[in-house]
Structure 1
């Protein structure tokens, strides 16, 4: 693998055929457009312009991104299940020997956070967060009163109160 820092400066006049393959390979290994552009020796902007101009390249770009994300997801699953091995070291950097075998001591490294995230992504009906906001919720309406039992004088009094309250509410 070449050192990304030693690549020449981006050259926007380079034809797509000259950098297409290394760009797509880098994108499929790590779905990061900036990194893929550096590997290919071009700028992100030039890559995006070529993507807009060439539908076939755009489709290959999307496929490379999918491969990169699949690879990342595979690594996450392995870590979530503790398939990664971590060797234990002393503060001096020396490996800790296993008490029975004498081999360097190692243990699996789990990630509960990755496990939860993956479960939410793949089984949202079972593992999604349960808090929700009902955007269609309504404020409980004021109780409705039978105003027919009021006298004319009481209705006028009630109208004056309502007018006063509405005027005060409109000022606020």
Structure 2
């Protein structure tokens, strides 16, 4: 039986849809959660290296900001697990999915900023050229913005437009091409 709340092309109840969405979210977050935790662990270790004491003030402050961003990213990406643990069995999966989606988005954003800041710190030290470090770190952050935010929106808009054209003309509009 298809309900009006089920996803297009699926025959699922609202609860089945919530279960599916939750499982998909867990699979997605596992990848970035592990990476964020490993990166955060490495960042913590930097303060205990002999070279850390010789960092200029800017780099020391950049390090602190990077560690804080890493902690926020890790916390946001682990939070859906805590939410699920506390709310499981209360019939709140749709609400959990909504909140978890926001937490994952926050985690991804702060993870991208953590990586860019860590890269900036590393490249300032490795190249000795602040200009090069800023340019390369900015380019990486732009890459994350493009692939994590812009490209999905472009794909979504094109898919919605293609689906609207298909409904309007009663047939296939544009085939199954990924991007035109």
Higher normalized contact order (CA 8 Å, seq sep 6+, divided by chain length): 2
| Structure whose residues are more often helix by fraction | 2
Same structural fold, with TM-score higher than 0.5 when normalized by the shorter chain:
no
Coarse TM-score class (shorter-chain normalised): under 0.3
Q: TM-score, normalised by structure 1?
A: 0.27
Considering fraction of residues, name the structure with more strand: 1
Structure number, greater radius of gyration: 1
